[in-house]
Amino acid sequence: MQIKRKILLNPGPATTTDTVKLAQIVPDICPREKEFAAQMAALREALVRVVHGGPDQYTAVLFCGSGTLCMDACLSSLLPEGKKALIVNNGAYSARAAEICRYYGLPHTELKLPYDRPATPEAVEQALRAHPETALVYSTHHETGTGLLNPLYELGTLAHRYGAIFVTDTTSSYAMRPLSIAESEIDFCMASAQKGLMGMTGLSFVIGRRDLLEASRTYPRRSYYCNLYRQYACFERTGEMEFTPPVQTVYAAIQAMREYWAEGEAGKWARHTRVMDAIHRGLEALGFRELIQREWQAGLVAAVRCPDDPAWDFERVHDACYRQGFTIYPGKVGSAGTFRLCALGALDVPDLEAFFTVFRAALDECGVSVPVRYCD
Ligand SMILES: *Cc1c(COP(=O)(O)O)cnc(C)c1O
């Protein structure tokens, strides 16, 4: 079977291999069969191993849904009665976490910090001092809207020193940047299958400490479908999700996991890094400027400032690239005009070289002068 190859430079779903796409084509199976539960058990173990967690101490809880569901599940399930969450907000995804708290009416402190630099432990410590009832500290590891990386170890250590658990959204770094859950002082992290793992959409997972999951049994149940303890307990009891799992997506994730181990943690990170380097090089050659200082980037997303050129029209440039099989993505940071190029997915340097040829032609077609110009 020939499947047309598309190059996705958006921040997920990512470009996948054909072997992962085809892994979805399996004989029909009822997900309540033991055969399917065994597949999920192996997948859950492997998901923990990706972040170097010991299987006795950590487990993975799968959900049918996109990554936001995991944010929802963690925030609504891991806060004891009368306690407060601290949301470290320096980007669009942590702003979403604060919004989830508002939807559930969860007591929380929203610590708003500049979106263009890593969260500082000093600011977080000040907030923890001011709110001693804080039981959960939440931060986004890689803010996908800007490409910014937050310091997990520093934030996790602080959370623990102040008697809180540390929950981090690793949706856009998991299975790409090497990460050790214990060494980074993480209690819970999360991701979805279609980003770093290069699987399909519709399967997401929370990875976290078993003892804290057990402790959360008595916490208020604020959601019926997204309760973390309930899903965990169902997996422990039956090996299954409580409700219907995304069957074919699970098979694709299992194949994606095979390919993850075949490429290896170091090899995969090296590939994402050389793809990102090719993105930086291509942008520089055209005169583009990035929003976030290079050393503060996670090395997976470039948020690029739109040029000050009346001919610049993101939609037109996007459409011209899309016709050639390449997808670029708009920005996500308040008023600053940006677009994004991402190094997720099954890509390598030649894909980016091909992209920049197409991108350059699209700029010419739109009449954008190169090198691109900025007023400041
Ligand atoms: C993609 C992503 C999510 C989940 O977004 P969905 O639209 O639900 O897939 C959550 N957090 C981060 C940091 C992400 O990059």
Taking residue 244's Cβ as centre, other Cβ atoms within 10 Å add up to: 10
Encode pLDDT of 342-365 as tens digits.
Answer: 999 999 999 999 999 999 999 999
Asked if residue 76 is part of any domain, the answer here is yes
User: Mean pLDDT for the chain?
Assistant: 97
Angle at 266 between CA 263 and CA 272, to 5 degrees: 80
User: Does 77 lie in the same domain as 47?
Assistant: yes
Encode pLDDT of 45-55 as tens digits.
Answer: 999 999 999 99
Segment 187-204 mean pLDDT: 98
State the pTM of this model.
0.97
User: Does 208 lie in the same domain as 77?
Assistant: yes
Asked if residue 77 is part of any domain, the answer here is yes
Give the DSSP H or E segment for 216: none
Segment 174-184 mean pLDDT: 98
Residue 144 CB–ligand 1 contact under 6 Å:
yes
Judge whether 301 and 272 are in contact, CB under 8 Å: no
* Longest distance between any two alpha carbons in the chain, whole Å: 63
Ligand 1 centre distance from Cα of residue 219 (Å): 26
User: Does 271 lie in the same domain as 219?
Assistant: no
User: Does 269 lie in the same domain as 199?
Assistant: no
Please, which pLDDT band fits residue 334 given cuts at 50, 70 and 90? low
Residue 204 CB–ligand 1 contact under 6 Å:
no
User: Does 310 lie in the same domain as 256?
Assistant: no
Range(s) of the domain holding residue 284: 265-366
Asked if residue 178 is part of any domain, the answer here is yes
Taking CA atoms only, the protein residue closest to ligand 1 atom 4 is 67
Judge whether 165 and 157 are in contact, CB under 8 Å: no
Q: Is the pLDDT of residue 313 over 70?
A: yes
Q: What's 338's DSSP letter?
A: E
Residue 156 CB–ligand 1 contact under 6 Å:
no
Angstrom distance (rounded) from CA 369 to CA 229: 56
Please, which pLDDT band fits residue 335 given cuts at 50, 70 and 90? low
* Domains contained in the chain, number: 2
Predicted local confidence at residue 308, as pLDDT: 96
Residue 91 CB–ligand 1 contact under 6 Å:
no
CATH code: domain of residue 159 = 3.40.640.10
User: Does 272 lie in the same domain as 244?
Assistant: no
Encode pLDDT of 88-134 as tens digits.
Answer: 999 999 999 999 999 999 999 999 999 999 999 999 999 999 999 99
CATH code: domain of residue 319 = 3.90.1150.10
